[in-house]
């Protein structure tokens, strides 16, 4: 039996076979190359996304209990956690902020931010003083931040102390307690003297609505010249208080008040008047009012003073000393 000879492949068949073999080799290789490229692309995207996400990942502290305004934040009140946020990392409370004071009420579960806190640093020259609560309106509460302002009878209004924290209020004794620096003590002392000497002047408090979001006011009050000189000599006063040393501004204020009183009346308060808007820092203003001397006229037409307590008559030539004291809280 003779062996059949295969016919040679035509060029067309040869081309088909070469193409088939090429496809069998190149297709898997191409798929592999495509897979590698796609994988690399997505890996790059994932790395970029992870890097971007790391920029939004912050270590934050969350309130684990309700925190009242004015409370000191302890480790038990806040717990750290990792979270995503679009805010700058610098805005979040850190471990260094433990011991700070809450500026407002903070509900449980709230992430703590630096603008909710006040760094509770106690300076060496900081002192607690007590004042009569007459200076505060009924809306002022413990933990509030307020400006203490002085209003003159001609309508001029000055900020004496800016963003002062109300430590506590003794409702029974009608005292409130403030922590003040030496320069602040000088300013409020001068303002109290002004309030006494300038009829119609009075001190009052203006409360910050949202203390955590509001910047402190700029102190605009200019102390009287004697206090200015004392502040210059006081070694406890920092250089920053040089802003208060504006003798020209004080002289201009005195001239304006002098003009006002020349038109509308005397600028000296009557220390015996129960209507004198003087707030004694140690709360004695109320006591002095209840024992104030009332003015009467005798049969000769001369003005005499009758003590509300004793009923004794005193001549106008007798002088009563009115003391203004600032008591440090013990």
Per the listing, tokens 């000189």 go with 229
| Higher-pLDDT residue of 149, 229 | 149
Does position 108 have pLDDT exceeding 70, yes or no? yes
**pLDDT per position as a tens digit, 2-55:** 556 566 767 777 777 777 877 777 777 777 888 888 888 888 888 887 777 777
Residue 30 dihedral angles phi and psi, to the nearest 5°? -65, -40
20 DSSP 8-state letter? H
Query: Which residues, at least 6 apart from 151, have a Cβ–Cβ distance to it below 8 Å?
Result: 157, 158, 201, 202, 204
For the entire predicted model, the pTM comes to 0.48
Nearest to 123 by CA among 174, 183, 71, 67: 183
Residue 44's φ and ψ, nearest 5 degrees, are -65, -40
| Domains in the chain with CATH codes | 56-118 (3.90.1210.10), 127-257 (no CATH)
Residue 195's pLDDT band, with cuts at 50, 70 and 90, is confident
d(CA 138, CA 123): 30
* 247: pLDDT strictly greater than 50: yes
Beta bridge partners of 78: 63
For position 270, what pLDDT does the model report? 46
The predicted-structure confidence for 252-277, as pLDDT tens digits, reads as follows 677 777 777 777 765 554 443 444 44
**What's the whole-number mean pLDDT along residues 101-109?**
83
Q: What's the CA gap between 90 and 115, in Å, rounded?
A: 11
């Amino acid at each position: 039996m003779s062996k059949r000879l295969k016919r040679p492949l035509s060029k067309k068949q040869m081309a088909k076979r070469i193409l088939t073999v090429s496809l069998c080799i190149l297709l898997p290789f191409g798929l592999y190359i495509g897979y590698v490229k796609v994988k690399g692309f997505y890996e790059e995207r994932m790395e970029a996304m992870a890097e971007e996400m790391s920029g939004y990942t912050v270590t934050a502290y969350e309130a684990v209990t309700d925190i009242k305004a004015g409370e000191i934040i302890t480790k038990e009140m806040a717990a750290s956690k990792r979270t995503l946020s679009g805010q700058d990392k610098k805005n979040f409370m850190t471990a260094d902020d433990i011991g700070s004071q809450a500026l407002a009420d903070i509900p449980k579960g709230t992430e703590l931010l630096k603008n909710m806190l006040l760094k509770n640093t106690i300076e060496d020259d900081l002192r607690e003083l007590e004042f009569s609560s007459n200076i505060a309106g009924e809306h002022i509460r413990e933990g509030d931040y307020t400006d203490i302002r002085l209003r003159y009878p001609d309508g001029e209004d000055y900020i004496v102390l800016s963003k002062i924290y109300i430590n506590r209020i003794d409702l029974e004794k009608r005292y409130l307690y403030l922590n003040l620096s030496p320069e602040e003590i000088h300013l409020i002392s001068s303002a109290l003297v002004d309030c006494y000497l300038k009829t119609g002047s009075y001190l009052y408090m203006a409360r910050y609505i949202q203390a955590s979001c509001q910047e402190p006011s700029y102190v605009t009050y200019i102390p009287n010249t004697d206090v200015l000189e004392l502040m210059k000599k006081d070694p406890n006063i920092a250089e920053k208080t040089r802003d208060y040393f504006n003798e020209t501004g004080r002289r201009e204020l005195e001239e304006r008040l002098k003009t006002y009183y020349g038109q509308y009346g005397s600028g000296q308060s009557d220390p015996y008047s129960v209507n004198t808007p003087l707030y004694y820092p140690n709360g004695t203003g109320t006591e002095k009012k209840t024992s104030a001397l009332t003015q009467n006229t005798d049969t000769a037409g001369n003005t005499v003073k009758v003590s509300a307590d004793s009923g004794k008559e005193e001549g106008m030539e007798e002088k009563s000393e009115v003391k203004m004291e600032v008591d440090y809280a013990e």
